[in-house]
Amino acid sequence: MIQTKRNFVFDFDSTLTRVEALDVLAEITLVNNPKKEEIINEIIEITNLGIDGKISFTESLERRIKLLNAKRSDLSILISQLKEKVSPSIERNKEFFEKFSEDIYVISCGFKEFIDDIVKEYNIPSERVYANTFVFDENDVIIGFDSENVLSAHNGKIQCLKDMNLNGEVQVIGDGYSDYVTKEAGVADKFFAYTENVEREKTIENADHIAPNLDEFLFVNKLPRNISYPKNRIKILLLENIHPDAFQKLTGDGFTVETVSKSLSEDELIEKLKGVHVLGIRSKTQVTKKVLDSTKKLMVVGAFCIGTKQIDLEACKENGIVVFNAPYSNTRSVVELAIGEIIMLMRSVFQRSMELHSGEWNKTAHGSREIRGKKLGIVGYGNIGKQLSVLAEALGMDVYYYDVEDRLALGNATRIDQLEDLLSRVDVLTLHIDDNPANKNFIGKEELELMKEGAYIVNLSRGFVLDIEALRDALLSGKLAGAAVDVYPKEPRANGEYYTELQGLNNVILTPHVGGSTEEAQRDIADFVPGKIMAYINSGNTVDAVNFPNIRLPRQVQAHRFLHIHKNVPGVMAEINKVLAEFELNITGQYLSTDSKVGYVITDVNKEYNKKVIKALKKVEGTIKFRVLY
């Protein structure tokens, strides 16, 4: 098939570079001017008026040059600064500029005196740069521009392209008015709105295609690029009010992110996940097998919390979907709330406060005790249990704990081998066992009966761990003196009305699953989980994945990386290696990790290879997911 010749016409300011060059020049020339800020703002305003087509370009240029008061010597400073401000995706795709140099032009309403120097590093010679030129006076001060140049006039790019009379298809890539009008005028066949640096509504409206970076432009044009898949095409859905830092971090890396403040039902989730590659949730969204089997593109689920029982981890694995969580980010927050609640319960603070709120003054020491010297029983001596142990001891409590695993006692804490012994010994019992379904009703009627008369209980783990009805009876009968409950057997998907049998009981603190809901914890989670997601998407690392073989990969240097997830059945690896051998690939590294169900093999190969190998690898029997990274 004969491909029509394509001409790629780039704008300069805010497209090839991240900035408007004349704004940078203003910063240089006005450095010691007391009215600097005022003048710069005026220049920016004039630039924008010109870009949006609200004043003629000639007028915009004249007014800016007058305000600039620049000299020839300022231009070399400008050039060195602009070299540092090339758009990131332009910088990383030098190969395209090398291979297609004959077809690339710059048409700019800026000035050749600085553009030439910047773009020659991208293989674009001065002859293919169409731009204005300055006029200097005898003291080398810039006093104007060559008004004969078509680019100094309104709609100059249209005239310039007409005069160039290029053969073949003309694609214009730019961020403003002067670029998109070329399509309207019939001198460009396609207009790409380039939004890596600025997004202008009108430019987007008038575009055939939006290119958030050069990767996207190269991808749609099937041109060589230095990244396997434009990141803006990777769609991330974040549910349940995940801290905005996660959005910032993921969009900052180039992904397209949508946020929804609540969790979704199974059907809503199935619908919403169409075309989504990464899902971020907290504790409320149930990611069931039905949901997972319905998704075509999902690669990662990020649990922006500790618990992962809301996710069918096995079904994720079978579908080649990697799951990450944040195992420590909210530990401290839960511990602080537990400590606070233990004090509040033992001092009947909520009781006193409720009374006073309703107008009753009840100054009494009855049933109000210090926590110093009291016995604290921790069930589940994991990350939270252990940290609570240390802080509670520092406050003078005697700590006892029970765990199904061998856990080293911290400080002076005492390990108790039988739950029953712990229950009958302690003044306050606090639950921190994990969300294993086997822990359902772990503390029920019988266990509560074994507790001391007038003891307290705190549950910040999972709602199903504590039998709520049995707790209610124990509180009403006076067996227990109080309780703090943060988690419930059934929790709603969104904020709103809620009912629990514990409402209205004396000395019962009820909180809506906020143990981990602090600014600090949420910010930390919003840093930790996206870090893991990005490491997997960008390089294949699965370190800390909760359902997948963990692999920490070395950096990929000058290589293409094949990521192959397959069923761990005999013969798959042999078949993969047979295909790699048949295509005579130069393998620079191979890494394999397996568990009983899946194998994850990563092969780094030299960049030059027969691309048909990709199809062959996808066809290997037992393949679950395959992708290429570079």
Ligand X SMILES: O=C(O)CC[C@@H](O)C(=O)O
Q: How far is the CB of 387 from ligand X (least distance, A)?
A: 14
Regarding 282 and contact with ligand X (CB under 6 A), the answer is yes
Regarding 483 and contact with ligand NAD (CB under 6 A), the answer is no
- Nearer CB in complex with ligand X: 283/295: 283
Kindly report the number of other CB atoms within 10 A of residue 410's CB atom: 16
Q: How many helices (H) and strands (E) does the chain have?
A: 24, 24
Q: Which residue is nearest to ligand NAD (CB)?
A: 382
The helix/strand/coil state of 312 is: coil
Regarding 463 and contact with ligand NAD (CB under 6 A), the answer is no
Kindly report the CA angle at 189 between 183 and 190, in degrees rounded to 5? 75
Regarding 283 and contact with ligand X (CB under 6 A), the answer is yes
Single-letter amino acid, residue 196: E
For helices 331-346 and 349-357, what crossing angle results, to 10°? 70
Residue among 176, 302, 377, 382 that touches ligand NAD (CB under 6 A): 382
Residue among 164, 223, 404, 535 that touches ligand NAD (CB under 6 A): 404
Regarding 330 and contact with ligand X (CB under 6 A), the answer is yes
Under rule CB under 6 A, which residues in 466-525 are in contact with ligand X? Answer: 516-517
Regarding 305 and contact with ligand X (CB under 6 A), the answer is yes
Helix (H) or strand (E) holding 602: strand 598-606
Q: H-type helices in 15-71, by residue range?
A: 21-29, 36-51, 57-68
Report the partner that residue 282 touches, choosing among ligand NAD, ligand X, none (CB closer than 5 to 8 A by kind). ligand X
Q: How far is the CB of 414 from ligand NAD (least distance, A)?
A: 15
Applying CB under 6 A, the span of 177-185, 286-294, 304-312, 370-378 interacting with ligand X comes to 304-312
Report the partner that residue 176 touches, choosing among ligand X, ligand NAD, none (CB closer than 5 to 8 A by kind). none
The helix/strand/coil state of 607 is: coil
CA distance 548 to 595: 8
Applying CB under 6 A, the span of 85-93, 285-293, 301-309, 530-538 interacting with ligand X comes to 301-309
Regarding 385 and contact with ligand NAD (CB under 6 A), the answer is yes
The helix/strand/coil state of 94 is: helix
CA distance 257 to 235: 6
Q: In 511-540, which positions are buried (b, 16+ CB within 10 angstroms) versus exposed (e)?
A: eebebbbbeebbebbbbbbbebbbbbbebb
- Nearer CB in complex with ligand NAD: 337/572: 337
Would you state the structure tokens that stand for residue 481, as one six-digit string? Answer: 């003196």
- Nearer CB in complex with ligand X: 213/517: 517
Q: Which of 80, 90, 151, 152 is nearest to 118 (CA)?
A: 80
Indicate which residues carry an active-site annotation.
462, 491, 513
CA distance 566 to 619: 11
- Nearer CB in complex with ligand X: 280/516: 516
Under rule CB under 6 A, which residues in 57-86 are in contact with ligand X? Answer: none
Regarding 307 and contact with ligand X (CB under 6 A), the answer is yes
Q: Which of 71, 28, 102, 228 is nearest to 629 (CA)?
A: 228
Residues engaged in binding ligand X (CB under 6 A) = 282-283, 305-307, 330, 516-517
Residues engaged in binding ligand NAD (CB under 6 A) = 306-307, 330-331, 334, 379-385, 402-405, 407, 432-436, 439, 442, 460-462, 486-487, 513, 515-516
